[in-house]
Amino acid sequence: MFQKFSEYQKQLFQLYSQQRYSEALRIAEEAGRSFPARAGRTIYWRACLLCRLGKPDEALGVLQEGLRDGHWWHISQLSADADLAPLRDRPEFQGIIAECERRREAAQAQAKPHLQVIEPVGGSTVKTPVLLALHWAAGNVEDFADYWQAAWQQGWLIALPQSSQICSEDGFWWPDYELGRREVLATFERLRQEYVFCADEIVIAGASQGGVLAVRLALEGAIPCRGFLAVVPSLRDHIVEEVIPLLKAAAERGLGGWIITGERDPCLEPTRRFHEQALKHGLRCELFVKPGMGHAFPGDFDTDLLQALAFFKSTTSDHKNR
């Protein structure tokens, strides 16, 4: 049906947000057949959707079979995911959680941060702009790279740091902000040493949890950049309070912000509040709320991305002309 795993994921999340669980289950099954290397993730999706469809016995069987095949999932997902609530009190499910934690600990002991770089055709030069893109929770750089192809086609160098914090067998996340911050700064330093690019044309982007990290790094000035591009950032009220003191100085540096979220995103209200505070403190920041969209990338993201990159160019020009 689709050529990329990210396209299956996008379609599944959209159907889920519309409570079209049977259709989403078919997408999950097709994704599993088309991308066997992503079986751990598609098994988890199937279990969640089967629970939503009132089939907890089938859901438990799917997870048990996946475990026998060597797959595992993060215990915070298994324990807290509302989709799996019908399984929570079952001894078999608790056994799955215990085994997954054992496998996670073994994998975490070997984990290291990773950097994937996609250079423009012909290589990068001193005029090449950089998009530093931070994956969302349970993501990885291989899948996340698909979302930024429109920028690469326009001559941007795409740098994709991957967290060392393991979320699942093929997923990573940023729950420890300070550790994530150190790793991104270290991978950026590696980027500076190994690649040629324009140091004055850097944008930090991210989605969900990675979107919050992108916002904070940009506001702090930890990485010199034009601004942040955040897609469905997982902003919470306490995070908004923490970054408000950074807004005025960021605005004075000429920083810009571009935020895309969904009408049904659970973090919509804190995101609106952050945007209001950004404008109040003089930060040039745009907010786009996509009708009917939940916690996902918009279907027309290529267009959104190119508009955002044009915005950052104009933001820099305006600041230089002050």
3-class secondary structure per residue, 51-112: HHCCCHHHHHHHHHHHHHCCCCECHHHHHHCHHHHHHCCCHHHHHHHHHHHHHHHHHHCCCC
Q: Counting Cβ atoms within 10 Å, is residue 105 exposed (0-12), middle (13-18) or buried (19+)?
A: exposed
What integer pLDDT is reported at residue 194 of this predicted model?
97
What integer pLDDT is reported at residue 230 of this predicted model?
98
What integer pLDDT is reported at residue 318 of this predicted model?
55
pLDDT exceeds 60 at position 317: no
What integer pLDDT is reported at residue 1 of this predicted model?
78
- Residue 308 identity (one-letter amino acid): A
| Integer Cα distance of 317 and 304 in angstroms | 20
Model confidence at 322, in pLDDT bands (50, 70, 90)?
A: very low
Does residue 153 sit in helix, strand or coil?
Answer: helix
pLDDT exceeds 70 at position 316: no
Rounded average pLDDT over 113-135:
97
Asked if 273 and 245 count as a contact pair (C-beta separation under 8 A), the reply is no
What is the per-residue pLDDT across 58-96, written as a single tens digit (0 to 9) for each?
A: 999 999 999 999 999 999 889 999 999 999 999 999 999
Rounded average pLDDT over 207-233:
97
| Integer Cα distance of 52 and 19 in angstroms | 9
What integer pLDDT is reported at residue 110 of this predicted model?
95
% the chain with pLDDT above 90: 89
The chain-wide mean pLDDT, for the chain, equals 95
Q: Identify the DSSP state of 33.
A: H
Rounded average pLDDT over 182-194:
97
Rounded average pLDDT over 158-175:
95
What integer pLDDT is reported at residue 14 of this predicted model?
85
Q: Which has the minimum average pLDDT: 5-14, 76-85, 207-216, 243-252?
A: 5-14
236-267 residues labelled b (16+ CB within 10 A) or e (exposed): eeebbeebbebbeebbebbbbbbbbbbebbeb
pTM value surpassing 0.85: yes
